Structure 1
């Protein structure tokens, strides 16, 4: 089976867009991710899948992290953390319980490390939710390799 074609296939599953932020001695780092899911309610756990080739891997190992769920107005923020920064930073930081988070995001989920698992060419990080917050608004979606929006029900 062809890996690129498989990626195209799973790209037909619409996802929300998140930026995962985590603090180190060098400051706050982040990366755009759509491989995020809720895992458990008791205890509250979430999962983030991280490519082994990214710098983010070493940042997340045994480290707390914040899932910033982006709203539809935050495409430039998603691109910034996907390695395509703008001349003018398209976001502001704000303090959360466990570190810096992206101001005006649709939701925040702040986590302590729970476990990490081998996921082939990715590592699966589970975080125990220590704080969360959400706000009204429309999510930024990703579908078939591009940003998308939720269609209104008529």
Structure 2
């Protein structure tokens, strides 16, 4: 059976997801990509997974390197567009320092999970990156930014 990729993408778009920016160090310069293909995998050991298109800059930068998953809140819509390469006006990301050996993180995110590389898997036109959570933080004073049917949404 042949699957039409556009129709499949439309179908998958009915699943609402949170919006993250996955960040890493790209030769001394912070780099990030907006990603909604993120999930928790295991609590022991603490593992998370991000899925990146194989041909993306982010996938090339992430291989074997630490990364941080930054969960965005509803007021960070501009950052989501910026790191997706679709911002009508450039956003200025503000970075927080991270512990030595961990990837940079975005200031003000709803949650952050700083990860060391655990494993990489072939995911067809994507690469699946598993990271071991080394440190994390979260806040409770904002709602998440959500992606559904091709657009960003707020919970309320």
* TM-score when normalising by structure 1: 0.94
Report runs of 4+ in structure 1 exceeding 2 Å deviation.
84-91
The answer (yes or no) to whether the contact 1:76–1:90 under 8 Å persists in 2 is no
Shift of 1:109: 0.1
Counterpart of 2:76?
74
**Cα deviation 1:56-91 (Å, max 9, x = unaligned):** 111000000000000000000000000124545343
Q: Which moved more, 1:94-103 or 1:119-128?
A: 94-103
2:122 equivalent among 118, 123, 126: 118
1:139 equivalent among 125, 141, 144: 144
1:56-135 correspondence to structure 2 within 5 Å: 56-85=58-87, 87-97=89-99, 98-135=102-139
Shift of 1:26: 4.1
* DSSP 3-state at the match of 1:73: helix
Aligned mates of 1:41, 1:50 — CA distance in 2: 22
Cα RMSD of the aligned pairs, angstroms, is 1.2
**Cα deviation 1:27-50 (Å, max 9, x = unaligned):** 111000000000001100000001
The answer (yes or no) to whether the contact 2:110–2:144 under 8 Å persists in 1 is yes
* TM-score when normalising by structure 2: 0.92
Aligned mates of 1:87, 1:5 — CA distance in 2: 31
CA 1:147 to 1:45, structure 2 compared with 1: closer, same or farther past 3 Å? same
Structure 1 stretches of 5 or more lacking a match? none
The answer (yes or no) to whether the contact 2:69–2:113 under 8 Å persists in 1 is yes
The answer (yes or no) to whether the contact 1:17–1:78 under 8 Å persists in 2 is yes
